[in-house]
Amino acid sequence: MVEKGSYVLKARTFDIETGKDIVVLNEDEAHDMDMIIGDRVSLKNGEKRCTAIVDSSDTLVKRGEIGLFSDTSCGIGAKRGDMIEVSITSNPASIEIIKKKMDGGSLGDEEIKTVIDEIMENKLSETELASFVTSLYIRGLSNDETVYLTNAIVGSGSILDLGVHPVVDKHCSGGVAGNRTTMILVPIIAAAGLYIPKTSARSITSPAGTADTMEVLAPVTFKLDEMKNVVLKTHGCIVWGGAMDLAAADDKLIRIRNSMRLDPKGVLLASILAKKKSVGAEYVVIDIPVGRGAKIEDTRIANGLAKDFLEIGKKLNMKVECYITVGNGPIGNGIGPALEARDVLRVLQGDGPADLTEKSLVLAGALLELCGKVEKGKGYAVATDILKSGKALEKMREIIEAQGGNPKVKVDDIPIGNFKAEVKSEKEGRIHHVDNRIISRIARTAGAPKSKGAGVYMHVKQGDKVKVGDVLFDIIAESETKLTMALELSRTMEAVEMQKVILEKYE
Q: How far apart are CA 293 and CA 330, in angstroms?
A: 10
* 354 in contact with its own copies (CB under 8 A): no
* 134 in contact with its own copies (CB under 8 A): yes
Q: By CB under 8 A, which span of 94-102, 169-177, 354-362, 454-462 interacts with its own copies?
A: 94-102
* 31 in contact with its own copies (CB under 8 A): yes
Q: By CB under 8 A, which span of 80-88, 295-303, 379-387, 481-489 interacts with its own copies?
A: 481-489
Q: How far apart are CA 231 and CA 412, in angstroms?
A: 28
- Count of residues binding its own copies (CB under 8 A)? 49
Nearest-approach distance from CB 38 to its own copies, in angstroms? 4
* 273 in contact with its own copies (CB under 8 A): no
Residue 36 or residue 468: which is nearer to its own copies going by CB?
A: 36
* 95 in contact with its own copies (CB under 8 A): yes
Q: By CB under 8 A, which span of 42-50, 202-210, 373-381, 465-473 interacts with its own copies?
A: 202-210
Q: How far apart are CA 116 and CA 149, in angstroms?
A: 8
Q: By CB under 8 A, which span of 32-40, 73-81, 393-401, 460-468 interacts with its own copies?
A: 32-40
* 64 in contact with its own copies (CB under 8 A): no
3-state SS, residue 457: strand
* 494 in contact with its own copies (CB under 8 A): no
Under 8 Å between Cβ of 449 and 395: no
Under 8 Å between Cβ of 20 and 122: yes
Residue numbers annotated as active site: 263
Under 8 Å between Cβ of 32 and 3: no
Nearest-approach distance from CB 133 to its own copies, in angstroms? 8
* 255 in contact with its own copies (CB under 8 A): yes
Q: How far apart are CA 156 and CA 113, in angstroms?
A: 9
Cα angle 416-410-481, degrees, rounded to a multiple of 5: 0
* 301 in contact with its own copies (CB under 8 A): no
Burial pattern 258-294, b for ≥16 Cβ within 10 A else e, equals eeeebebbbbbbbbbbbbbbbbbbbbbbbbbbbbebb
Interface residue with its own copies, options 90, 259, 299, 389 (CB under 8 A): 259
Nearest-approach distance from CB 258 to its own copies, in angstroms? 5
Per-residue mark of binding to its own copies, 442-471 (x: CB under 8 A): --xx----x---------------------
Q: How far apart are CA 366 and CA 80, in angstroms?
A: 62
Q: What is the H or E stretch that residue 172 is in? A: strand 168-172
Interface residue with its own copies, options 26, 131, 200, 357 (CB under 8 A): 131
Pairing of strands 283-290, 419-424: unpaired
Under 8 Å between Cβ of 71 and 19: yes
Under 8 Å between Cβ of 121 and 154: no
* 441 in contact with its own copies (CB under 8 A): yes
Interface residue with its own copies, options 72, 122, 125, 173 (CB under 8 A): 125
Q: How far apart are CA 155 and CA 274, in angstroms?
A: 9
Residue 134 or residue 349: which is nearer to its own copies going by CB?
A: 134
* 263 in contact with its own copies (CB under 8 A): no
Residue 219 or residue 429: which is nearer to its own copies going by CB?
A: 219
Interhelix angle 391-402/337-349, nearest 10 degrees: 140
* 439 in contact with its own copies (CB under 8 A): no
Q: By CB under 8 A, which span of 53-61, 180-188, 396-404, 458-466 interacts with its own copies?
A: 53-61
Interface residue with its own copies, options 10, 60, 89, 243 (CB under 8 A): 60
Residue 14 or residue 323: which is nearer to its own copies going by CB?
A: 14
Backbone φ and ψ for 172, nearest 5 degrees, come out as -125, 135
* 2 in contact with its own copies (CB under 8 A): yes
Residue 133 or residue 192: which is nearer to its own copies going by CB?
A: 133
For the beta sheet containing 471-477, the strands, ordered from the edge strand earlier in sequence to the opposite edge, are 334-335, 455-458, 471-477, 419-424
* 251 in contact with its own copies (CB under 8 A): no
Angstrom CA distances, 503 to 43, 346, 440, 442, stand at 63, 35, 20, 21
* 122 in contact with its own copies (CB under 8 A): no
In 250-300, beta strands by DSSP E: 283-290
Q: How far apart are CA 222 and CA 305, in angstroms?
A: 31
Q: How far apart are CA 50 and CA 330, in angstroms?
A: 52
Q: By CB under 8 A, which span of 192-200, 275-283, 302-310, 440-448 interacts with its own copies?
A: 440-448
Q: Which parts of this chain interact with its own copies (CB under 8 A)? A: 2, 14, 16-17, 19, 31-34, 36-38, 57, 59-60, 95, 98-99, 102, 125-131, 133-135, 137-139, 202, 204-205, 255-256, 258-262, 441, 444-445, 450, 485, 488-489
